[in-house]
């Protein structure tokens, strides 16, 4: 392994968590180097209007907000680079990291902010209308469809929670479930709440055949896998709640993770099981998954890294 460069504080990922960590680390004099990853700016770059991030009184477009984050991190002195971290070696400090499958560098501290990716159904219309009525976050985007009929696909606790959230602001919620009642993954209490909510209709044994609409969502066509019948429902939005996948694959074998691949951190901190390696944002948060909570955990990671590096310097 030929180490080409040594970095004091390395940040992997460039969503709200990574950029906030960079802002704090740069101001603390840690000379951070940030690699943006496969999707510079993270999930917010495929989001349109963001209305729930503090400080933007009139709302802001997701990609524009991430440009603001990037510029601020840059102004503070962060070395922001294009590149994807493809391999790590956390066996001993300084930690080794491979970039773009070719260059190895070492780092005294590493902040992981690689985020999570929403799982999609994989149909063409879903991707074409993404950001135009198709969304993977009801809490983020449900408000834009206040008083309208919407659809949500999913059968777990998250899908139930989001359906209940939508039922409070939307006129009617159509919940699409692939299996029957006995195949629903959600806990019984969540299922009972959904069934008891008057403006939620559950479509059992149903799969999404097509999201309808040219420039915006106008409906959804369902296929009943018991009767083979197809039906169309008029809706203004289509929410996908079939789960998220944390972007943590390259850290497997090094960091402690839960059964679904989320990096485990010591409660109340960003510390992983390896001293000097910290995790922030959606790669370690499967509960809240909001831009503002990701930014907050990025701040925590930078402060934890600063204290770790300070203790290292003073022996």
Active site residues: 137, 140-141
- In 3D, which of 159, 162, 157, 163 has the Cα closest to residue 186? 157
Specify whether the CB–CB gap between 108 and 276 falls below 8 A: yes
d(CA 257, CA 277): 14
Angle, CA of 141, 139 and 136, to the nearest 5°: 65
Which residues fall within 8 angstroms of residue 236, CB to CB, at 6 or more apart?
133, 145, 148, 149, 150, 216, 217, 218
Q: CA dist 87 to 116, 188, 249, Å?
A: 18, 41, 10
Q: Which residues of 216-228 are buried (b: 16+ CB within 10 A; e: fewer)?
A: ebebbebeeeeee
Which residues fall within 8 angstroms of residue 225, CB to CB, at 6 or more apart?
178, 205, 206, 207
Instruction: Tell me the two tokens of residue 240.
Output: 């996908």
């Amino acid at each position: 392994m030929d180490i080409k460069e040594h970095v004091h504080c390395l940040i992997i990922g460039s969503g709200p968590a990574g950029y906030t960590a960079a802002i704090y680390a740069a101001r603390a004099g840690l000379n951070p180097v940030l690699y943006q990853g496969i999707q510079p700016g993270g999930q917010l770059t495929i989001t349109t209007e963001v209305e729930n991030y503090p400080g933007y009184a009139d709302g802001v477009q997701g990609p524009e907000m991430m440009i603001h984050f990037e510029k601020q991190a840059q102004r503070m002195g962060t070395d922001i680079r294009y590149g994807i971290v493809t391999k790590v070696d956390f066996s001993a400090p300084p930690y080794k990291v491979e970039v773009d499958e070719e260059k190895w560098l070492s780092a005294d501290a590493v902040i992981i902010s690689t985020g999570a990716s929403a799982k999609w159904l994989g149909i063409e219309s879903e991707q074409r209308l993404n950001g135009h009525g198709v969304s993977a976050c009801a809490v983020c985007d449900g408000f834009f469809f206040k008083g309208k009929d919407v659809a949500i696909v999913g059968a777990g606790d998250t899908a139930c929670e989001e359906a209940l959230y939508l039922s409070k602001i939307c006129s009617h919620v159509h919940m699409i479930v692939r299996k029957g009642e006995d195949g629903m993954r959600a806990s019984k209490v969540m299922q009972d709440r959904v069934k008891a909510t008057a403006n939620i209709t559950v479509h059992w044994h149903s799969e999404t055949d097509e999201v309808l609409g040219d420039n915006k969502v106008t409906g959804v066509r369902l296929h009943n896998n018991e009767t083979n019948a197809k039906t169309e429902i008029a809706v203004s939005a289509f929410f996908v709640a079939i789960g998220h996948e944390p972007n943590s694959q390259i850290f497997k074998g090094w960091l402690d993770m839960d059964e679904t691949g989320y990096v485990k951190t010591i409660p109340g901190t960003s510390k992983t099981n390896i001293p000097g390696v910290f995790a922030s944002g959606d790669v370690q948060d499967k509960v809240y998954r909001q831009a503002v909570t990701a930014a907050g955990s990025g701040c925590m990671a930078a402060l934890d890294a600063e204290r770790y590096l300070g203790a290292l310097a003073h022996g």
